[in-house]
Structure 1
């Protein structure tokens, strides 16, 4: 006697998508971990132009100085006297990081120099001032 095994219609005929979902989540985690996020200072500044401006890799510590003399780090307005403490903390988190000062072209030179000095006193060897390249 020969038996034939037949399935009722609709039973077991589906596609198993569990491995596909697992793979999508693994790829999502991979890209999230390996992506670089754009850091912002939290304030918009109008940078000066310079003929000698060079493109620089993303700096680890961004400091903004507005035309009104406000200093911003990590989207927070800070007092000029607190720059060194903030930069020391950020430098301790990533010792190889450089600093980039994004000063408005109408910012007072004295305040920009104070910020530059405080960043260097905090232990940052490479401190640059951002400029837009002249065309």
Structure 2
């Protein structure tokens, strides 16, 4: 015995939309964007950087170091001692060996502190990958 469908049953079946493939695509795109996203690294403190006409944008540094006006040194939102700068740079640089080191020194910070941090950074990464962050004055 053949089962007969009413026109209402046929209309319901034609009107149903399967959303599963669309949800699969959305989740795959979400995973793709999360994996490929570049996260902005912050030092955790605000620094008044000096201005320079030759300021340049560096791509994705692996280590950001901030030197505040009171000569305190900050890495990864933590205050560190001058003696532990090299160890912190080594640890963070190991996570991204292609990246460089950017030092954000306050314009009122001591040149002596900046030089010590710069020397320790150059012991870990090549000198051309170590730079000073400045404000673009042009």
Equivalent-residue separation in structure 2 for 1:15 and 1:21 (angstroms): 12
- Name the counterpart of 1:133: 136
Q: Cα deviation per residue 1:21-68 (whole Å; 9 max; x = unaligned)?
A: 111101111111111111100111000001222232232211110001
Equivalent-residue separation in structure 2 for 1:17 and 1:56 (angstroms): 44
Contact 2:62-2:95 at 8 Å conserved across structures: no
Stretch of structure 1 that moved more, 51-60 or 97-106: 51-60
- Name the counterpart of 1:21: 23
- Name the counterpart of 1:106: 108
Equivalent-residue separation in structure 2 for 1:60 and 1:105 (angstroms): 23
- Residues 26-65 of structure 1: pairs in structure 2 closer than 5 A: 26-65=28-67
Stretch of structure 1 that moved more, 114-123 or 10-19: 10-19
Change (3 A) 1:89 1:3: closer
Equivalent-residue separation in structure 2 for 1:5 and 1:42 (angstroms): 68
What SS does the aligned partner of 1:69 have? coil
Unpaired runs of at least 5, structure 1: none
Alignment RMSD, CA only? 2.2
Equivalent-residue separation in structure 1 for 2:93 and 2:12 (angstroms): 61
Provide the TM-score with structure 1 as the length reference: 0.89
The number of equivalent residue pairs is: 135
- Name the counterpart of 1:115: 117
Equivalent-residue separation in structure 1 for 2:90 and 2:126 (angstroms): 8
Change (3 A) 1:43 1:5: same
Higher helix share: 2
